[in-house]
Structures are given as C-alpha cells and as structure tokens.
Amino acid sequence: MSTPSIESILARHPFFQEIAPAELGAIIEHARLISFEPGRLIFHQGEPAAQLFLITEGKVSLEVFAPQRGPILLMTLGPEDVLGWSWLFPPYRWHLDARALEPTQAIAIDGARLRERCEANHELGYQLMRHSVGVIEQRLQAALLQLVDLYGK
C-alpha cells in the first residue's frame, strides 16, 4: 500500500478545508513528514514552539510534569488530530510536553512560515484561525468536562 502524500493528506484534512489550492501548495512547501518512536518527546514545555503537527498515525499524549509525581497525562491525540497551538501565539513556547505513546507519524508545518502567510493573506489567516478556534473550543469543552469529575460519587 502506498503512503499518501503530504499534499493529499492536507487537501482532505478538515483543518485545511476551504483553503485555496495555491495557498495549500505554498503551505506544503513548509511541511514535512516526521516519525516518532514510542516514548519519544515530540516537544517539551518551555522550548520554542516552531511547528504545527497533524497526526496521521499513532497516539500522542499531552503531559505536564509535576515534581515528585512525574508526568501527568492530560489528553491523548490520534490520527487526524491537530497537535500544538503555541506556534500561533506569543511568546511561541510550548506550555506542555507531547510524547509519542505508539509509533507515530505526523506532518510538521513550519509555524513561523504559516504565520507569515496568514499575515500576507488575511483570507488564509481567517480560515486557519476559524478552524483553530473550532478545535480549541472542542478541546476546551473536553478539558472542562474532565475537571467536573463526572464519574465521582
């Protein structure tokens, strides 16, 4: 079975829907396929947030490290999920750790180039921001539900 190209993955990914083909072509120039072995950190809290990841295979945990407790798993993400928002907002540093739990493949897109394109083309900026807010809203809602302790006594 042949591996789908970056172009075909991005073209059908919900995050890049309604993006003009020319713009999508320009974004692809700053995208690359990247693999992570299980246990490997994809990014680390405090480090510069330089990329947006679209997970294509595997499973990734978002974690926060607590002294004397170790890494606490906050959420897991899988195929088609978008990973990482900190490239979009100053100070462009990761707030959490992300770790591959399984053999994981993702498309990494250069965040700084993406921001530049959004500044140059506000239509692109609007579409990406709209999709970003949609995903962030879902994650926020899920995070709030996790806080409720639904299954407690």
Partner 1 sequence: MTAIVASSPTRNLPDPMLPRPFRVQRVRKETQDTFTLELEPATGEGDYPFAAGQFNMLYIYGVGEVPISISGDPTKPHRLVHTTRAVGVVTNAMRQLKRGDMLAVRGPFGNSWPVVEAQGKDVIIVAGGLGLAPVRPALYHVLAYREKYNNVVLLYGTRTPLDILYRREIEGWRSRFDVDVHVTVDRAMHPWRGNVGVVTRIIPKAPFDHLNAVAMICGPEVMIHFTVLELEKRGLAPGSIFISMERNMKCAIGFCGHCQWGPNFICKDGPIFSYEEIKPFFGRRGL
Binding-site ranges for partner 1 (CB under 8 A): 59, 61, 69-76, 78-80, 101-102, 138, 141-142, 145-146, 148-153
The owner of tokens 């995208």 is 31
Closest by Cα among 129, 44, 30 to 89:
129
- Taking the least distance from each CB to partner 1, the nearer of 75 and 88 is 75
- Taking the least distance from each CB to partner 1, the nearer of 25 and 38 is 38
State residue 71 phi and psi, 5-degree precision: -70, 130
- Taking the least distance from each CB to partner 1, the nearer of 133 and 145 is 145
- Taking the least distance from each CB to partner 1, the nearer of 76 and 121 is 76
Instruction: State in angstroms the smallest separation of the CB of 143 from partner 1.
Output: 9
How far is the C-alpha of 142 from the C-alpha of 139, rounded, in Å?
Answer: 5
Residue 76 token pair: 């897991």
Q: Do 42 and 99 contact (CB within 8 A), yes or no?
A: yes
Instruction: State in angstroms the smallest separation of the CB of 82 from partner 1.
Output: 13
Q: Which amino acid is present at 63?
A: E
Instruction: State in angstroms the smallest separation of the CB of 42 from partner 1.
Output: 16
Instruction: State in angstroms the smallest separation of the CB of 50 from partner 1.
Output: 25
How far is the C-alpha of 68 from the C-alpha of 88, rounded, in Å?
Answer: 32
